[in-house]
Each structure stands twice: as C-alpha cells, then as structure tokens.
A and B are shown apart, each in its own frame.
Chain A
Amino acid sequence: MSKSIENFEIFPNAPIKEAIFEIGYEDIGKDRVSELEAIHNDFKAHYPEIKTIQGYENEMSLGEKGAELIKNHSFILGYQFWATNKSELHTCRVDGFSYNKLAPYIDGTSAIKKTMDGWRKFSSGIKNLKVSNLSVRNLNVVNIPLLKFDLEDYFRLASNLPGQLKDNTITNFFFNISIAFPEHKAFCDVTMSPQASGRGVSIILDIHAHKGFMAQEDIQTELEALKVIKDKVFFSIVTENCKEMFR
C-alpha cells in the first residue's frame, strides 16, 4: 500500500533509479585532484571502493584536408566513493560534491541528511571551496508494458503530432524543457527520452531542479526546497495511469 509523506505519495514500485543531491562549487582546478583522492580516507569506512571520473577534451576539424583530430586528451576530474551495498555513493569532482542514491530509493529527507553529513566531512578536508550552485535530480525509468500506446496516457508533458499527422506514429523522441521557479530563484529541467528495454518501452524521465547559491543561504534548507520542486514537477507530469503502475 502506498503512503504519503510531505503531501507526496510514496510508491512501492517507484520508477526512480538514481537520486542525486549535489553541491557545486567553483572549479578548484585539476592540480588539486590529488586532494580529492586523499579525502577518500575519511569516507573509507562506509564507502570503501574508489573509482576515477575521467574528463575528455576533443577538437576536430573538417576543413579542406578532411577530418582532422586537433586535440584529444583525457584527464582526471574526480572520484566516486562507492558503498559496499552498491546502491549509494559520493562523487567528489573538481567542481562539485554529491550524494547519489540508486534504487531502492526510500526518501529525500534521509538522503539530504547523508548529503549534509558527507559535505561536512568533505568541506572540512578540502579547503577554500566557494559553493556556487545546488541541485536535486531524479533519474526515473518508467516501464510501459506495451509496444504501442499514447504518451499522453502516461505523461501530461509529451510530444504530440499535429492533426494532419494524427494517423502516423512517433517512433522516437527527445524532449527537454526548463521550468522557472522565480520564488526560489530556481529552475527545473525535464528531459524525456525512450531507452531500450528488451520487451515493451521504457521512458527515461529525468527531473533536475537546480539553482545558484548565495552566501547568505543555508545549503540544507535550499536542498530541501529543491526536493519539493522536483517532487511537484514529477507529480504534475505523471498521469493517474502512470501512478497506478507504481502502486
């Protein structure tokens, strides 16, 4: 049976595959990446596995001489610290820190608490961080057990064909919008795209609430506000049909 916390229903078969609570800061530069690696010692007890995050830079020219790769190199941007349960991790990058919870996702309140616990540990070890942005993001995968269906039966925000093409079928789409929330000085980006799923169709519903951070603000309070925006957007987009599949 589903229950409700903070006025939003919690589903037993929730579509969420990853929740990301991120504290972004001004880029500290690649030369400080060794500090990020060293801070793993403080996280080791609960997050023993460390993985490298690579960055890539490419430049290609298609001039008269034909295709030419001008620049192509990789570098280390940070690290992922994975918990033994393989369902949660911290990412520590040159421009941001995050707590990521993979499925099963329980609730945002405990996730924000873990984000803040991790952040306190991280920011006491990595000095002179200037927080610049905050975000709360959910990657949902909605599995629709049909090969042919109307998107609007499941999502209130969907691409529709005009009347002259009503007998045709959409076979693929990529949908991305940004919604402003001026009262919170925040934005919420919504991206929808189908992904392969073997049988039936899976729709990725990516909801990313984010805002710039001002020095007088409180990180935890702002993350909580972003979480509410993210939930509001999610519950406004999915239809009753969709919710039934999650219950």
Chain B
Amino acid sequence: MSEPLKTLHKYKISPRTHATHFEGYNTDVVFLDQFRAKRQQSSSALLMAKGQLQLELLDICSTRTTRGWDGYDALPITNESFSTAQSLIDLFPLEIQQPTIFPTNSGGFSFEWTKGPKYLVIEIENEEISCVLLDSKRKMKKSQYLERFDEEHAMECDDMVEWVKKEFPLND
C-alpha cells in the first residue's frame, strides 16, 4: 500500500493501517507490521466520554500486571476480564453518565454509578458479569448474573444496559 500519510478525522494514520476506533464508533482494526496512531480527543463530549472509558480500562490493565499490585494478594487483570469489559463498554449507549471503574483483587473490574439513593454496580471476573441495582428511596433491589458474555445471554445484557440507561441518563 503506497498511500501517503493522511489525516482521517482526528487520527493521524501511518501507511499500511486502517482506522481502529473511529471517534468512538467501533470498527475493526487491521494492520500489518506497524501501527501508529496519535489520537486527539473529539470535541464531542459524548464520543469523548466513551473513548475515555476505553482508555481508562487500558490504563488500569497496564498498571496491574503482577500479582499483589494492591500490596496484598490481588491477582493481575486477566485478558478475559479486559475483553469482557471492553465488550460491555461497547454496549453502553452514548447518553449515559460515566461510571467509575475500579480494578478488583480477583483480576477483574468493577463499574460503579451512584446518584442520590441509586447505586448500580457491574462486576466483571473473566467472562462472568454480575450486576446489582439498588434504590433505597424506592426500596428496590434488582440483580443479574451472566455466566458468559455471548449471544446466548444477550437478553440479560440488554437488561443491564437498560438499567444504566434508565437510572443514570447523562443529564439527569
């Protein structure tokens, strides 16, 4: 491929590459022997928030690679947990509040939202996902557990996404 270096929206992409995340939209990455991307965040607050979440995930992973990262016995973040968390973020619609992401000592992630009496947590451990929604004002508790993040469990996943969308919209 002999195309010159070109600017594709906010990405500067070197020859022999195709776009990876295109400003928050999901497209597949295909690259040969070298990949170089300088990312400038989109001026869109909604697209930027989603990209930021993916980067936060990467940041957590790259700093929790050895056992005992918490000073005790915490396991390093596993590839499976990272992959599950990435897929879950892809499912989040644009117009939701950003969760706080924490690493867990079992090598996974925890996504948390809090707003007044409402609290929602999604815990990821390898391929497993568990979710709890609490609302002390409405005296409500809902929970969901997925053994695996795949087509078979699409309905349960949709439920979780709906809870986030309904309980934690962006400009609530």
Contact = CB atoms under 8 A, between A and B. Distances in A.
Interface string B26-61: 110001111111111101111110001001000000
Interface in B1-30: 9, 22, 25-27
B93 A18 contact: no
Nearest to A199: B158
Interface string A46-82: 0000000111111111110000000000100100100
A86 B170 CA distance: 8
A63 B33 CA distance: 6
B112 interface: no
B95 A20 contact: no
A87 B43 CA distance: 15
Interface stretch (A5-13, A90-98, A118-126, A155-163): A90-98
A204 interface: yes
A61 B34 contact: yes
Contact of A196 (B32, B47, B90): B90
Interface in A81-118: 85-87, 89, 91, 93, 95-96, 98, 100, 102-103
B165 interface: yes
Contact of A102 (B22, B27, B170): B170
B94 A139 contact: yes
Nearest to B9: A189
Nearest to A53: B41
Chain A facing B: main interface SS: strand
Contact of A139 (B34, B40, B46): B46
Interface in A156-179: 174, 176
> What class of interface size applies to chain A in its complex with B?
35 or more
Contacts of A18: 44-46, 94
Contacts of A55: 38-41
Contacts of B92: 196
A141 B94 contact: yes
A196 B94 CA distance: 9
A20 B44 contact: yes
B134 interface: no
A17 B43 contact: no
B47 A58 contact: no
Interface in A1-54: 17-18, 20, 22, 53-54
A176 B55 CA distance: 24
29 contacts: A17-B46, A53-B41, A54-B41, A55-B40, A56-B38, A56-B55, A58-B35, A58-B36, A59-B34, A61-B33, A61-B35, A62-B35, A74-B55, A85-B171, A86-B171, A86-B172, A93-B40, A93-B43, A98-B43, A100-B44, A139-B47, A174-B25, A189-B9, A191-B25, A196-B161, A197-B93, A197-B161, A198-B158, A198-B162
